[in-house]
Structure 1
Amino acid sequence: MTAFDFEANRAKLNGMRKWPHLLAVLGLALLFEPTRAPAQDQTVNPILNFEIGRYLGLWHEIASIPAWFQEDCVARATATYALAEEPGRLTVLNACQTAGGGRTEAEGRARLTGALNRGALEVTFVEIFGWWLWPAAGDYTIIALDDDYRWSAVGHPSRDYGWILSREESLSDETLKMIAAHFRAAGYDTCRILTTPRQDGEARVPLCED
C-alpha cells in the first residue's frame, strides 16, 4: 500500500488466543480475489525498470482511497520495506496514528511477481504458526514512480485501492496533480483518492479537480 498498502492491526497468529483476529484478516483477503476483474477498459500496468533495492526504507502515505482495514488510522500513516530473512521476500511494516494518539502496526511480507524489473508485488499480512499465506496476498502495482524514488503511486487491479507514498512527509500541490493524472490514466476516479491527515482532526481532501 501506504501501500497502506494494505494496513490494519498486527497479525501475529501464534496461538489460539489470536484466532478471532485471523478471521478478520481472512476477510481482508476476500477483497483481493484474483477473479475480480477491472470494470474499466484500461489496464493497471506496473512500471518497468523497477529496482527493488531503491524502494526499501520508510515511506509516508500522502493520500489513499480509504479502506475499511485502515479505519483505525486517523493520521501519519507510514510503510517501511526491508529485506526479509526468507530469500526473495521483503518485510512490510505499516503503522499509523490512532484516535487515542497512539501508534498501531501491521507486519507482513511482500514478494515480486513476474520479471524482477516490473513494479508488481503481492503483499500478505496473514501469518499462521510462522507461515505466510500467499493465497491471501493482495496485488501491489506501482503505476508511477519518481526517477529518484522520492514518491510512488500504487494501485490495485480492482481500482478499489490506491496509495500515494513519499519519502518526505508532504508533496507539493504540483506533484500531487501530476500523480493524480497517472491515476486517471489508469482508470481511477481521483475523487476517491483523499489526502492523509498529518494530525487527528485534519480534513481529507480529494485529489479530483473542481
Structure 2
Amino acid sequence: MLKIPLALFALALLPLTGCDTAPPPEIAPVQGFQLERYQGRWYEIARLDHRFERGLQAVSADYSRNADGSIRVVNRGFDATTSSWREAVGKAWFNGPADVASLKVSFFSPFYGGYHVAALDPGYRWAVVVGPDKDYLWLLSRDKQPAADAKPALLSVAARLGVPADKLIWVRQDRGDN
C-alpha cells in the first residue's frame, strides 16, 4: 500500500472554506452525540462531487480518541487512476460541548474546517455529514453495503437538506482491502 498524505486528499473529506468551522446556518448538528459510539470505521456511501475526492473509491474514515482529548481522523481512499491508496491523518476538536456533533478538523495545522453530523441513526449505523456549507455532504455507513432501510433514510435527510439525489456520487466499496 502506498501512503500519500496529500494535502488535497486531506481536503477531500474536509473542505477548508476560509477555515470556517461553524455549521451552515440552516443545519442543526446532532444533539446528544456520543463520541464513544461514533468512534471506529465509517464507509463513505455517497458524496457530493468535488475535485479533491474525485475518482476515489473504497473511501473510509476512522475516528479514535487521542490521549490529549482530541479525535484522531484517518481518511483513506483508493485512486483507481494510479492504482494506489491515499491516506491522510488529522485531528479534530469539538466546536463546543462534546454532546453536540459539530467539530473542527485539521489535517495540517493551523487550518481547520467544519465537520457537522446533521443526522445520525439512533443505532449509529449511518450518518449524514456536512462541511462548512451544503456544497459538501457525505452519507456514511458502518457497513460497506448498508442495510436496505439505510439508503432511503439517508436520501430523505439529504432531500430535507436540499441536496438533490441526482447530484450524489455513489461510492464503490467493493475493494476487499479497505
The reply to whether TM is greater than 0.5 is yes
**What is the CA RMSD across the aligned residues, in angstroms?**
2.9
Partner amino acid for 1:137? Y
| Alignment counterpart, residue 111 of structure 1, candidates 93, 114, 127 | 93
- What is the aligned length? 170
Note if 1:166 corresponds to 2:166: no
State how far apart, in whole Å, the 1-side matches of 2:51 and 2:113 are: 15
Q: CA deviation at 1:72?
A: 5.1
Partner of 1:15: none
CA gap of 1:27–1:193, structure 2 versus 1, over 3 A, is: closer
Note if 1:32 corresponds to 2:24: no
1:43–1:157 CA contact under 8 A, matched in 2: no
Gaps of 5+ in 2: none
Query: Secondary structure in 2 aligned to 1:53?
Result: helix
State how far apart, in whole Å, the 2-side matches of 1:37 and 1:109 are: 18
Q: Which is strand-richer, 1 or 2?
A: 2
Q: CA deviation at 1:35?
A: 9.9
Partner of 1:94: 75
| Alignment counterpart, residue 10 of structure 1, candidates 2, 5, 11 | 5
Q: TM-score, normalised by structure 1?
A: 0.70
Partner amino acid for 1:44? I
Partner of 1:156: 131
State how far apart, in whole Å, the 2-side matches of 1:196 and 1:25 are: 16
Partner amino acid for 2:113? G
State how far apart, in whole Å, the 2-side matches of 1:35 and 1:112 are: 10
Gaps of 5+ in 1: 1-8, 12-20, 127-131, 201-210
**Percent identity over paired residues:** 26
State how far apart, in whole Å, the 2-side matches of 1:150 and 1:37 are: 22
Deviation sequence 1:10-66 (CA, Å, 0-9, x none): 15xxxxxxxxx6xx689888842239995xxx7011010000111111111111112
**Greater C-alpha radius of gyration:** 1
Partner amino acid for 1:68? R
Note if 1:50 corresponds to 2:33: yes
